[in-house]
Structure 1
């Protein structure tokens, strides 16, 4: 991969990540803007994630028939137009439609990046490039969350619209073709799912993402309703969490070499379980904002450990595994966000959500080593 192509991929990760985490923090503000209930507006999180998860399945097979450059050009222009349309929505119904379509076109960026790194980058640079992409992605997400506490919510989506337009122009002139075409479009995931190592990895990825987003995407609503926090305070909590992700990822290479990928995955899930316990037991919002450090740290460890484990998959499985990875992370994450919203808005409320997430994360943390060592 040339330096210019690498920088374009970095810009892609900035654009696609900028508003992703901010949306969960902005739900109360967007609900107020459109005069909608918070429990209704929270759909803006999972209505993006579910189509993302579904359509992510198709990018690996599509790269057999089209060059990666052509696929990225399509995704970039679509993502730009839909972010612009979302920011100009006249009502919450329009916002839902544009957010849904946004998830469809955004689903290609990460699996295509995995495919390029897996096939066009050699040796240790694979881990280095992926680490750079994830670090940049997290910094972008942190910036979006932080700015969501001060800027009008529409601006948080105008920025990725402009960035995606720039990506389209730069890709036309400077991005390599990345031609990995071998055959006509074909879905061949069955062979990947038959591999027990791959299947167990997908179980860990899917369950972890479901539990994370069940809590994460509803946390802004909880902080608003439970503690009556303003948008700036809610954004601060999300910013603290995202900053922890950035800081932890600076040391994951060291931690991985000392402890191993599977160990840091286990530690990550356990830390997330501890944060869920704090939410369940504490009535002090200052303690919750402080404890969110555990949430961000745990997610960074588990996410990075699982991604590194994925990058070492056999080459014949890598293309499809990359698409499945993105599909599971966002698809099951979207289902988790839907489940969390459904549960928290019911009679049983947030406490039952916290109990389910806490117990499940502890079980996943203590048994993930056994699951992934196969």
Structure 2
């Protein structure tokens, strides 16, 4: 069983690395393809668009399929299209390959989360979830910086390496993972629309998911242009940008290991309020910092807090339904990636035409503030207290 959890950890590590690697590469990609800042944002948006659209159907549909086969096909497509990103010759071929990689990831990653309860003993599920979640945190702490260092040999290198490593993961998955037959009848799997309709009855779930979307909108608007801002303000190359992101990932990793105990002590409501306010203040301060050292410290603190808030938000959303947790996860993933798509596009417009990173940070802070208000007004915190 430990081998399977290690496999799942590596799957999420490589998917996470591929998701986040584009941000530090944007300055190089912009120069290589001869595109504007606004267009470069769409390289991030393409992956997010593919994931967001297909996550809505991939999760519910896969409940009626053999999860192992879905995972294998998703990983194979992810590896192929990520590898092809390394051979993109212009903006539009890169856009197409990122879109297809996002679609493939939308089919692969939900199978990991859904397979854990099928394979792991009930009293070990939470621990297994924590280990697999750490794969995403480590992708920020190690995967993205390593990819940035590899990019010094050419921006194509990280995509080719991730693609090749994914093919090895596909082979390991085929050999190690047992068959995972569907848990529901196919006839029931056809009622996807009804499941979403049932989930979104009443105002609480609608407001809660809108709040989550707005939070991710602000989060990824700021994240998408980290590399561009660091390059423009401090003249950092791609390897130096990777070092900054190492501190970002370090904060997220530490939080994933110890954040839950702090949230339990402070309480969900106060953790959410204080965390969002603190992040907002740090983002307002960020554009005015005079040196890279201060930027690294600030990003460490931001992602230390974000690592506590994300699981809290997901826990709140999971209280919305005890019988449709897969659908909740699919909608949450789609909300996050729609936020990524809209956020990176909006950030590109603001960065190019409205004062650079200062306007992007202000936009993110506004999104965080509105999100916090909506979360508090939705009543979803009441469900978390009753668990």
TM-score higher than 0.5: yes
Residue 42 of structure 1, CA deviation: 2.9
Find the counterpart in structure 1 of residue 385 from structure 2: none
Judged with a 3 Å threshold, the aligned counterparts in structure 2 of structure 1 residues 200 and 259 are, in CA distance, closer, same or farther, namely farther
User: What SS is found at the alignment partner of 1:79?
Assistant: helix
Find the counterpart in structure 2 of residue 45 from structure 1: 44
- Aligned-partner Cα distance in 2 for 1:34–1:360: 31
> Within the alignment, does 1:300 sit opposite 2:299 as a pair?
no
- Aligned-partner Cα distance in 1 for 2:128–2:209: 22
Q: TM-score scaled to structure 2, two decimals? A: 0.88
CA contact (8 A) 1:244 1:296 kept: yes
Find the counterpart in structure 1 of residue 94 from structure 2: 95
- Aligned-partner Cα distance in 1 for 2:147–2:59: 33
Residue 226 of structure 1, CA deviation: 2.7
Deviates more, 1:143-152 or 1:281-290: 281-290
Find the counterpart in structure 2 of residue 24 from structure 1: 23
CA contact (8 A) 1:14 1:136 kept: yes
CA contact (8 A) 1:214 1:340 kept: yes
CA contact (8 A) 1:245 1:300 kept: yes
- Aligned-partner Cα distance in 2 for 1:293–1:15: 22
Deviations 1:247-298 (A, max 9, x none): 1111023123323444433333223212211124445444223211222112
Residue 208 of structure 1, CA deviation: 1.2
Residue 17 of structure 1, CA deviation: 1.1
Find the counterpart in structure 1 of residue 283 from structure 2: 276
> Within the alignment, does 1:246 sit opposite 2:248 as a pair?
no
Find the counterpart in structure 1 of residue 230 from structure 2: 223
- Aligned-partner Cα distance in 2 for 1:248–1:327: 24
- Aligned-partner Cα distance in 2 for 1:65–1:7: 26
Find the counterpart in structure 2 of residue 170 from structure 1: 172
- Aligned-partner Cα distance in 1 for 2:8–2:298: 33
> Within the alignment, does 1:337 sit opposite 2:316 as a pair?
no
- Aligned-partner Cα distance in 2 for 1:202–1:366: 13
User: What SS is found at the alignment partner of 2:184?
Assistant: coil
Residue 119 of structure 1, CA deviation: 5.4
Deviates more, 1:113-122 or 1:161-170: 113-122
> Within the alignment, does 1:373 sit opposite 2:381 as a pair?
yes
CA contact (8 A) 2:71 2:109 kept: no
Residue 111 of structure 1, CA deviation: 2.3
Find the counterpart in structure 1 of residue 325 from structure 2: 318
User: What SS is found at the alignment partner of 2:150?
Assistant: coil
- Aligned-partner Cα distance in 2 for 1:195–1:182: 28
Deviations 1:296-349 (A, max 9, x none): 112211112123334555441212111111111112221111111122212454
- Aligned-partner Cα distance in 1 for 2:2–2:146: 30
Q: CA RMSD in A?
A: 2.4
How many aligned positions are there? 373
Residue 243 of structure 1, CA deviation: 0.9
CA contact (8 A) 2:213 2:336 kept: yes
Find the counterpart in structure 2 of residue 60 from structure 1: 59
